[in-house]
Structure 1
Protein backbone atom coordinates (compact mmCIF):
# COMPACT_ATOMS: atom_id res chain seq x y z
CA UNK A 1 0.00 0.00 0.00
CA UNK A 2 1.48 3.33 -0.98
CA UNK A 3 1.70 6.32 1.30
CA UNK A 4 -0.64 8.19 -1.05
CA UNK A 5 -3.39 5.60 -0.61
CA UNK A 6 -2.88 5.66 3.18
CA UNK A 7 -3.24 9.44 3.12
CA UNK A 8 -6.43 9.14 1.10
CA UNK A 9 -7.75 6.53 3.53
CA UNK A 10 -7.00 8.84 6.46
CA UNK A 11 -8.82 11.70 4.71
CA UNK A 12 -11.80 9.46 4.05
CA UNK A 13 -11.81 8.28 7.64
CA UNK A 14 -11.68 11.88 8.83
CA UNK A 15 -14.62 12.77 6.58
CA UNK A 16 -16.59 9.76 7.76
CA UNK A 17 -15.88 10.62 11.39
CA UNK A 18 -17.06 14.21 10.86
CA UNK A 19 -20.22 12.94 9.16
CA UNK A 20 -20.87 10.53 12.02
CA UNK A 21 -20.49 13.31 14.57
CA UNK A 22 -22.87 15.51 12.57
CA UNK A 23 -25.37 12.64 12.41
CA UNK A 24 -25.20 12.10 16.19
CA UNK A 25 -25.61 15.82 16.84
CA UNK A 26 -28.48 16.05 14.34
CA UNK A 27 -30.35 13.13 15.93
CA UNK A 28 -29.81 14.58 19.39
CA UNK A 29 -31.21 17.92 18.21
CA UNK A 30 -34.19 16.12 16.66
CA UNK A 31 -34.72 14.20 19.91
CA UNK A 32 -34.74 17.45 21.88
CA UNK A 33 -37.18 18.97 19.36
CA UNK A 34 -39.54 16.02 19.87
CA UNK A 35 -39.55 16.21 23.67
CA UNK A 36 -42.91 16.90 25.29
CA UNK A 37 -43.91 20.55 25.44
CA UNK A 38 -43.35 21.81 29.00
CA UNK A 39 -46.59 23.82 28.93
CA UNK A 40 -48.59 20.79 27.78
CA UNK A 41 -47.14 18.80 30.69
CA UNK A 42 -47.89 21.55 33.21
CA UNK A 43 -51.18 23.05 32.01
CA UNK A 44 -54.33 20.96 31.82
CA UNK A 45 -57.95 21.62 31.09
CA UNK A 46 -60.28 18.89 32.18
CA UNK A 47 -63.49 18.36 34.10
CA UNK A 48 -61.97 15.89 36.54
CA UNK A 49 -58.77 14.27 37.75
CA UNK A 50 -59.03 11.43 35.23
CA UNK A 51 -59.22 13.96 32.39
CA UNK A 52 -56.12 15.72 33.74
CA UNK A 53 -54.27 12.42 34.04
CA UNK A 54 -55.20 11.38 30.50
CA UNK A 55 -54.09 14.76 29.14
CA UNK A 56 -50.82 14.49 31.05
CA UNK A 57 -50.20 10.96 29.81
CA UNK A 58 -50.73 12.14 26.23
CA UNK A 59 -48.45 15.14 26.79
CA UNK A 60 -45.70 12.87 28.12
CA UNK A 61 -45.54 10.80 24.94
CA UNK A 62 -41.85 10.74 24.05
CA UNK A 63 -41.82 8.01 21.40
CA UNK A 64 -40.55 10.27 18.59
CA UNK A 65 -37.83 11.72 20.80
CA UNK A 66 -36.89 8.21 21.89
CA UNK A 67 -36.48 7.06 18.27
CA UNK A 68 -34.19 9.98 17.39
CA UNK A 69 -32.23 9.35 20.56
CA UNK A 70 -31.84 5.69 19.66
CA UNK A 71 -30.40 6.64 16.27
CA UNK A 72 -28.01 9.13 17.88
CA UNK A 73 -26.79 6.58 20.39
CA UNK A 74 -26.41 3.85 17.79
CA UNK A 75 -24.27 6.08 15.56
CA UNK A 76 -22.28 7.29 18.56
CA UNK A 77 -21.48 3.75 19.70
CA UNK A 78 -20.20 2.80 16.24
CA UNK A 79 -18.10 5.96 16.03
CA UNK A 80 -16.79 5.53 19.55
CA UNK A 81 -15.76 1.92 18.97
CA UNK A 82 -14.03 2.98 15.75
CA UNK A 83 -12.28 5.74 17.74
CA UNK A 84 -13.62 8.16 15.16
CA UNK A 85 -14.38 11.15 17.38
CA UNK A 86 -11.85 13.77 18.44
CA UNK A 87 -13.89 14.70 21.52
CA UNK A 88 -16.18 11.76 22.36
CA UNK A 89 -16.68 13.00 25.95
CA UNK A 90 -18.71 16.03 24.85
CA UNK A 91 -21.02 13.87 22.71
CA UNK A 92 -21.26 11.30 25.47
CA UNK A 93 -22.27 14.01 27.96
CA UNK A 94 -25.01 15.23 25.61
CA UNK A 95 -26.23 11.68 25.09
CA UNK A 96 -26.32 11.03 28.84
CA UNK A 97 -28.27 14.26 29.45
CA UNK A 98 -30.91 13.38 26.85
CA UNK A 99 -31.05 9.78 28.07
CA UNK A 100 -31.62 10.93 31.66
CA UNK A 101 -34.40 13.26 30.55
CA UNK A 102 -36.07 10.56 28.44
CA UNK A 103 -35.84 8.17 31.39
CA UNK A 104 -37.53 10.73 33.65
CA UNK A 105 -40.28 11.25 31.07
CA UNK A 106 -40.85 7.51 30.75
CA UNK A 107 -40.98 7.13 34.53
CA UNK A 108 -43.49 9.97 34.84
CA UNK A 109 -45.58 8.48 32.03
CA UNK A 110 -45.62 5.14 33.86
CA UNK A 111 -46.64 6.77 37.14
CA UNK A 112 -49.42 8.70 35.43
CA UNK A 113 -50.56 5.48 33.75
CA UNK A 114 -50.71 3.79 37.15
CA UNK A 115 -52.72 6.67 38.58
CA UNK A 116 -55.05 6.61 35.58
CA UNK A 117 -55.96 3.06 36.55
CA UNK A 118 -55.91 3.59 40.32
CA UNK A 119 -57.94 6.79 40.69
CA UNK A 120 -61.17 5.47 39.10
CA UNK A 121 -60.80 2.26 41.11
CA UNK A 122 -60.36 4.25 44.31
CA UNK A 123 -63.38 6.39 43.49
CA UNK A 124 -65.51 3.26 43.00
CA UNK A 125 -64.32 1.85 46.32
CA UNK A 126 -65.13 5.11 48.10
CA UNK A 127 -68.56 5.25 46.49
CA UNK A 128 -69.25 1.65 47.58
CA UNK A 129 -68.12 2.45 51.13
CA UNK A 130 -70.34 5.53 51.23
CA UNK A 131 -73.33 3.60 49.90
CA UNK A 132 -72.74 0.78 52.39
CA UNK A 133 -72.57 3.31 55.23
CA UNK A 134 -75.82 4.95 54.11
CA UNK A 135 -77.53 1.57 53.79
CA UNK A 136 -76.54 0.71 57.37
CA UNK A 137 -78.03 4.00 58.53
CA UNK A 138 -74.66 5.17 59.69
CA UNK A 139 -74.56 8.91 59.18
CA UNK A 140 -71.27 9.29 61.01
CA UNK A 141 -72.78 10.47 64.29
CA UNK A 142 -73.10 8.51 67.49
CA UNK A 143 -76.20 8.19 69.68
CA UNK A 144 -74.32 9.82 72.56
CA UNK A 145 -74.24 13.24 70.89
Structure 2
Protein backbone atom coordinates (compact mmCIF):
# COMPACT_ATOMS: atom_id res chain seq x y z
CA UNK A 1 0.00 0.00 0.00
CA UNK A 2 2.84 2.42 0.70
CA UNK A 3 4.09 1.87 -2.84
CA UNK A 4 0.74 3.01 -4.21
CA UNK A 5 0.78 6.01 -1.90
CA UNK A 6 4.31 6.88 -2.97
CA UNK A 7 3.26 6.61 -6.62
CA UNK A 8 0.21 8.76 -5.98
CA UNK A 9 2.31 11.36 -4.19
CA UNK A 10 4.77 11.44 -7.08
CA UNK A 11 1.95 11.78 -9.59
CA UNK A 12 0.37 14.54 -7.54
CA UNK A 13 3.72 16.32 -7.34
CA UNK A 14 4.14 16.06 -11.11
CA UNK A 15 0.60 17.31 -11.66
CA UNK A 16 1.25 20.25 -9.32
CA UNK A 17 4.43 21.14 -11.23
CA UNK A 18 2.55 20.94 -14.52
CA UNK A 19 -0.24 23.15 -13.18
CA UNK A 20 2.29 25.73 -12.03
CA UNK A 21 4.02 25.56 -15.41
CA UNK A 22 0.66 26.04 -17.17
CA UNK A 23 -0.14 29.08 -15.03
CA UNK A 24 3.29 30.58 -15.68
CA UNK A 25 3.05 29.86 -19.41
CA UNK A 26 -0.33 31.55 -19.72
CA UNK A 27 0.88 34.52 -17.69
CA UNK A 28 3.86 34.86 -20.03
CA UNK A 29 1.58 34.67 -23.08
CA UNK A 30 -0.80 37.23 -21.56
CA UNK A 31 2.09 39.63 -20.93
CA UNK A 32 3.28 39.18 -24.51
CA UNK A 33 -0.14 40.21 -25.83
CA UNK A 34 -0.17 43.53 -23.98
CA UNK A 35 0.67 46.65 -25.97
CA UNK A 36 4.18 48.00 -25.79
CA UNK A 37 4.56 51.30 -23.94
CA UNK A 38 6.08 52.92 -27.04
CA UNK A 39 3.07 51.89 -29.14
CA UNK A 40 0.76 53.68 -26.73
CA UNK A 41 2.92 56.78 -26.51
CA UNK A 42 4.31 57.41 -30.01
CA UNK A 43 2.32 58.28 -33.10
CA UNK A 44 2.77 59.15 -36.74
CA UNK A 45 -0.70 60.53 -37.39
CA UNK A 46 -1.45 63.73 -39.24
CA UNK A 47 -4.51 64.72 -37.25
CA UNK A 48 -6.32 64.10 -33.97
CA UNK A 49 -8.58 61.42 -35.41
CA UNK A 50 -5.54 59.57 -36.72
CA UNK A 51 -3.91 59.79 -33.30
CA UNK A 52 -7.04 58.47 -31.61
CA UNK A 53 -7.47 55.62 -34.09
CA UNK A 54 -3.81 54.68 -33.68
CA UNK A 55 -4.10 54.79 -29.90
CA UNK A 56 -7.29 52.74 -29.95
CA UNK A 57 -5.53 50.10 -32.03
CA UNK A 58 -2.48 50.19 -29.76
CA UNK A 59 -4.68 49.62 -26.71
CA UNK A 60 -5.87 46.26 -28.02
CA UNK A 61 -4.94 43.54 -25.52
CA UNK A 62 -5.35 40.76 -28.08
CA UNK A 63 -5.63 37.36 -26.44
CA UNK A 64 -4.24 38.56 -23.11
CA UNK A 65 -7.62 38.19 -21.42
CA UNK A 66 -7.97 34.61 -22.68
CA UNK A 67 -4.51 33.69 -21.43
CA UNK A 68 -5.20 35.37 -18.10
CA UNK A 69 -8.42 33.38 -17.81
CA UNK A 70 -6.52 30.15 -18.44
CA UNK A 71 -3.89 31.11 -15.87
CA UNK A 72 -6.58 31.87 -13.31
CA UNK A 73 -8.36 28.61 -14.08
CA UNK A 74 -5.26 26.48 -13.51
CA UNK A 75 -4.23 28.55 -10.51
CA UNK A 76 -7.67 28.11 -8.92
CA UNK A 77 -7.59 24.39 -9.58
CA UNK A 78 -4.14 24.10 -8.03
CA UNK A 79 -5.11 26.19 -5.02
CA UNK A 80 -8.28 24.18 -4.35
CA UNK A 81 -6.32 20.95 -4.64
CA UNK A 82 -3.71 22.42 -2.31
CA UNK A 83 -1.17 21.53 -4.97
CA UNK A 84 1.08 24.55 -4.62
CA UNK A 85 3.55 24.82 -1.78
CA UNK A 86 4.01 28.55 -2.32
CA UNK A 87 1.88 30.28 -4.90
CA UNK A 88 1.95 33.85 -3.61
CA UNK A 89 4.01 34.86 -6.64
CA UNK A 90 1.40 33.41 -8.99
CA UNK A 91 -1.46 35.12 -7.16
CA UNK A 92 0.39 38.45 -7.27
CA UNK A 93 1.18 38.09 -10.97
CA UNK A 94 -2.43 37.24 -11.78
CA UNK A 95 -3.71 40.20 -9.77
CA UNK A 96 -1.21 42.57 -11.38
CA UNK A 97 -2.09 41.45 -14.91
CA UNK A 98 -5.80 41.55 -14.18
CA UNK A 99 -5.51 45.14 -12.97
CA UNK A 100 -3.35 46.21 -15.92
CA UNK A 101 -5.70 44.63 -18.47
CA UNK A 102 -8.66 46.36 -16.79
CA UNK A 103 -6.83 49.70 -17.00
CA UNK A 104 -6.01 49.15 -20.67
CA UNK A 105 -9.61 48.14 -21.43
CA UNK A 106 -10.88 51.28 -19.68
CA UNK A 107 -8.46 53.47 -21.63
CA UNK A 108 -9.53 51.71 -24.86
CA UNK A 109 -13.17 52.51 -24.09
CA UNK A 110 -12.32 56.15 -23.32
CA UNK A 111 -10.36 56.52 -26.56
CA UNK A 112 -13.21 54.88 -28.49
CA UNK A 113 -15.61 57.44 -27.04
CA UNK A 114 -13.29 60.26 -28.08
CA UNK A 115 -12.84 58.72 -31.53
CA UNK A 116 -16.60 59.01 -31.99
CA UNK A 117 -16.96 62.41 -30.32
CA UNK A 118 -14.19 64.31 -32.11
CA UNK A 119 -15.60 64.00 -35.66
CA UNK A 120 -19.05 64.96 -34.36
CA UNK A 121 -17.56 67.98 -32.60
CA UNK A 122 -15.61 68.94 -35.72
CA UNK A 123 -18.78 68.68 -37.81
CA UNK A 124 -20.72 70.82 -35.35
CA UNK A 125 -17.96 73.44 -35.33
CA UNK A 126 -17.78 73.46 -39.14
CA UNK A 127 -21.55 73.87 -39.32
CA UNK A 128 -21.37 76.72 -36.80
CA UNK A 129 -18.63 78.42 -38.79
CA UNK A 130 -20.62 78.03 -42.02
CA UNK A 131 -23.72 79.48 -40.35
CA UNK A 132 -21.68 82.45 -39.09
CA UNK A 133 -20.24 83.05 -42.58
CA UNK A 134 -23.75 82.92 -44.06
CA UNK A 135 -24.99 85.49 -41.56
CA UNK A 136 -22.24 87.92 -42.46
- By the TM > 0.5 criterion, same fold? yes
1:76 aligns with 2:79: no
- Give the deviation of 1:95 after TM superposition: 0.4
- Give the deviation of 1:102 after TM superposition: 0.6
Distance of 1:12 and 1:83 partners within structure 2: 14
1:10 aligns with 2:9: yes
Distance of 2:20 and 2:62 partners within structure 1: 23
Gaps of 5+ in 1: 138-145
1:46-65 residue pairs with structure 2 within 5 A? 46-65=45-64
Distance of 1:72 and 1:122 partners within structure 2: 43
1:19 aligns with 2:18: yes
1:25-104 residue pairs with structure 2 within 5 A? 25-104=24-103
TM-score, normalization by structure 2? 0.95
- Give the deviation of 1:63 after TM superposition: 2.0
Paired residue total: 136
Q: Deviations over 1:5-64 (max 9, x none)?
A: 112111111110011001101111111112101111100111110011111111111022
**Aligned twin of 1:114:** 113
- Give the deviation of 1:71 after TM superposition: 1.3
Q: 3-state SS of the aligned residue for 1:63?
A: coil
Greater Rg over alpha carbons, structure: 1
- Give the deviation of 1:80 after TM superposition: 1.1
More helix by share: 2
Calculate the aligned-residue CA RMSD, in Å. Answer: 1.0
TM-score, normalization by structure 1? 0.89
- Give the deviation of 1:88 after TM superposition: 2.2
Q: Which moved more, 1:65-74 or 1:18-27?
A: 65-74
